[in-house]
Amino acid sequence: MSLILEFYPHLLAGLAVTMEMIVCAVPLGLLIGIVIAVSRAYGGPLLSPLAYIYQIVFRGTPLLLQLFIIYYGLPRIGILFSPLTAAIIGFALCSGAYHSEYLRGALMSIPLGQMEAARALGMGKIQTINSIMLPQMLRRAIPGCTNEITYLIKYSSLAYLVTVIDLTGQGRLIAYATFRFFDTFLIVGLIYLGLVTIANHLLQYVERKVRIPG
């Protein structure tokens, strides 16, 4: 308790940075996932293979390696990002690859006859995807995407390795300053547990609100 009282301003500052990363990376990852999922399903001979390669790269390599390449590697070719921006980009790109598989699976579960019926009524391909396929896809993919958002909240703790002073980074600084590693990281872990619990409850609420009866 004394540790919390003494260092709560630092923990709050780190929590604010963590929340900023999550709030930015989650919608970006979802948007990327939607684009990649639709490209895989309806992108034709050009976009579909490119989307598949994207999935292979970002799902097949460690997130930490991706962060290192974005923050430490890209400056070698003149592309520089701040630590926070690099972390958000890395989390969004990796999360988007995983979201895209949940979303593509949901999209593939929709009967093809709906697409054919819409086209027969004179709707264009893009209009059919936007008006008929996407709303159903998003509803069906919520459980899987909830898991990915939960993972993203926990994986955000890797940001301190690219010099972002987030919640984990602040905890590390406090632990080395006080040599109270167990107490410090127990508190940090409880805060992450609270974030994950709140996110799960919010996403379950969204799932209930958009569920189609029956």
Identify residue 47 by its one-letter amino acid code.
Answer: L
Distance CA 88, CA 155 (A): 11
How many CA atoms, within 13 angstroms, populate the side-chain half-sphere of residue 166?
26
The 3-class SS string of the chain reads CHHHHHHHHHHHHHHHHHHHHHHHHHHHHHHHHHHHHHHHHHCHHHHHHHHHHHHHHHHHCCHHHHHHHHHHHHHHHCCCCCHHHHHHHHHHHHHHHHHHHHHHHHHHCCCHHHHHHHHHCCCCHHHHHHHHHHHHHHHHHHHHHHHHHHHHHHHHHHHHHHCCCCHHHHHHHHHHHHCCHHHHHHHHHHHHHHHHHHHHHHHHHHHHHHCCCC
Identify residue 94 by its one-letter amino acid code.
Answer: C
Identify residue 48 by its one-letter amino acid code.
Answer: S
Dig out the tokens for 196 from the structure.
């994950």
Domains, in order of start, for the chain:
2-210 (1.10.3720.10)
pTM exceeding 0.75: yes
What is the pLDDT, as a whole number, of residue 197? 95
10-residue block means of pLDDT along the chain (214 residues)? 72 94 96 93 88 95 96 94 96 96 86 75 75 81 89 93 94 89 91 94 85 63
